[in-house]
């Protein structure tokens, strides 16, 4: 397929773009801060510019668009700026795709849309799946709710299949090797202090597994993905101890259902993606950290 990936220079976009290219797709990256990516035709574009975005998408004649561009970290800019930037980007890119008659459009949402992070938050059930109510508690999460609804709107009104995914805390290959993560600390620090990973309910996702998810999403029959959203995370929790032993002190909002999260079981369910798309993550922190430690010792 010909696939436009917006935000191709980002933490997630870099690996997702090169991963789709490696699986045989023709990938056109679009970012306002372009970087070279192997096998990807990268274009510079400010996707808040409606005309430039329309020209880029219509000119690329893609079969699919994967929309990732945006402000990716809650509270990293004033709340209003995050809301306006992310919702404008979402509408501009999806509307341009609809006008160009693109067959498939996948937009990045976030697990934060369900509202964890505030003291009063309570999980409706654990493990958390796509039936959990959406109760955003900041402008970033609210912008993701709007992006999900924008995808649903185009799913109803445009010809193609429109859907979204909620990637868990993305870990790029270099971050296993010690580069700082989105929050500024390393993966080892995030594991050594469980309070750091508790903020995102111990979730995570290797960026290469995000690429294989996008590939599976693109390959699925349109009726399976149209108007649908998927949690996309690792098969285990990002914690050295079972979540069942950690939640009372660190995330009481998970409630007693979390006693069932024994062993390495994660808080978020990825059953929907597994059942409907046949997708399963292949990377786990134990093996990825061990592999990067061995590599750095050998070099
Ligand atoms: N990284 C995570 O853990 C995570 C988790 C859940 C959801 N997400 C979502 O996934 C997407 C990608 O996240 P990321 O971590 O790669 O973010 P990132 O900040 O690393 O990358 C975002 C990219 O978007 C580009 N961009 C921003 N505004 C633009 C504009 N106006 N025009 C063109 N390009 C623009 C930036 O230049 C950047 O390269 C985001 O929508 C984010 O909200 C990320």
Q: What is the CATH number of the domain that holds 100?
A: 3.40.50.720
Count CA atoms within 13 Å of residue 46 on its CB side.
Answer: 5
Determine phi and psi for 208, rounding to 5 degrees.
-70, -30
CA of 216 to the centre of ligand 1 (A): 21
Ligand 1 atom closest to 171 (CA): 3
pLDDT for the residue numbered 294? 61
Q: Write down the number of H helices and E strands in the chain.
A: 12, 9
Residue 32 placed within a domain:
yes
Q: What span, in angstroms and rounded, lies between the C-alpha atoms of 86 and 127?
A: 28
Q: What span, in angstroms and rounded, lies between the C-alpha atoms of 63 and 149?
A: 22
Cα 15 to Cα 53, 113, 132, 170, distances in angstroms: 22, 24, 29, 10
pLDDT class of 290 with cuts at 50, 70, 90: confident
Ligand 1 atom closest to 73 (CA): 43
Residue 59 placed within a domain:
yes
pLDDT, greater one: 182 or 199: 199
Range of the domain at 27: 2-168+206-234+266-282
pLDDT for the residue numbered 117? 86
Q: What span, in angstroms and rounded, lies between the C-alpha atoms of 130 and 139?
A: 21
pLDDT for the residue numbered 155? 98
pLDDT, tens only, 239-261 = 999 999 999 999 999 999 999 99
Residue 63 placed within a domain:
yes
Q: How many domains does the chain have?
A: 1
Residue 136 placed within a domain:
yes
Residue 291 placed within a domain:
no
pLDDT class of 293 with cuts at 50, 70, 90: low
Ligand 1 atom closest to 9 (CA): 39
Q: Candidates 4, 10, 208: which one to mutate for ligand 1, based on the most atoms within 8 Å of Cβ?
A: 10
Residue 95 placed within a domain:
yes
pLDDT for the residue numbered 182? 84
Measured by CA distance, the residue closest to atom 36 of ligand 1 is 7
Ligand 1 atom closest to 46 (CA): 32
* pTM, to two decimals: 0.97
33 lines ligand 1 (CB under 6 A): yes
ω into 52 cis (within 30 of 0): no
Residue 57 placed within a domain:
yes
Measured by CA distance, the residue closest to atom 43 of ligand 1 is 72
Mean pLDDT, to the nearest integer, of 220-231? Answer: 98
146 lines ligand 1 (CB under 6 A): no
pLDDT at 221 > cutoff 80: yes
Residue 217 placed within a domain:
yes
């Amino acid at each position: 397929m010909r696939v436009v990936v917006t935000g191709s220079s980002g933490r997630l976009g870099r690996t997702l773009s090169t991963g789709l290219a490696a699986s045989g797709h023709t990938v056109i990256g679009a970012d306002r801060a372009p970087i070279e990516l192997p096998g990807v035709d990268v274009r510079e574009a400010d996707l808040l510019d409606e005309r430039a975005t329309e020209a880029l998408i219509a000119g690329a004649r893609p079969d699919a668009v994967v929309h990732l561009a945006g402000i990716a970290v809650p509270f990293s800019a004033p709340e209003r700026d995050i809301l306006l930037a992310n919702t404008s980007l979402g509408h501009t890119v999806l509307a341009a795709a609809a006008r160009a008659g693109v067959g498939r459009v996948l937009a990045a949402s976030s697990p934060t849309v369900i509202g964890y992070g505030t003291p009063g938050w309570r999980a409706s059930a654990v493990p958390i799946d796509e039936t959990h109510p959406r109760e955003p508690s900041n402008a970033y999460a609210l912008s993701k709710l709007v992006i999900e609804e924008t995808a649903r709107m185009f799913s109803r009104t445009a010809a193609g299949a429109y859907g979204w995914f909620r990637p868990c805390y993305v870990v790029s290959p270099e971050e296993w090797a010690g580069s700082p993560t989105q929050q500024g600390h390393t993966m080892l620090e995030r594991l050594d202090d469980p309070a750091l990973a508790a903020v995102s309910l111990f979730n995570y996702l290797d960026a290469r597994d995000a690429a294989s998810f996008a590939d599976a999403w693109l390959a699925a029959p349109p009726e399976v993905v149209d108007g649908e959203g998927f949690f996309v995370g690792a098969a285990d929790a990002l914690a050295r101890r079972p979540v069942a032993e950690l939640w009372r002190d660190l995330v009481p909002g998970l409630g007693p259902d979390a006693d069932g999260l024994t062993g390495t079981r994660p808080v978020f369910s990825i059953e929907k993606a597994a059942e409907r798309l046949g997708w399963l993550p292949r990377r786990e922190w134990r093996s990825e950290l061990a592999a990067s430690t061995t590599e750095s010792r050998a070099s």
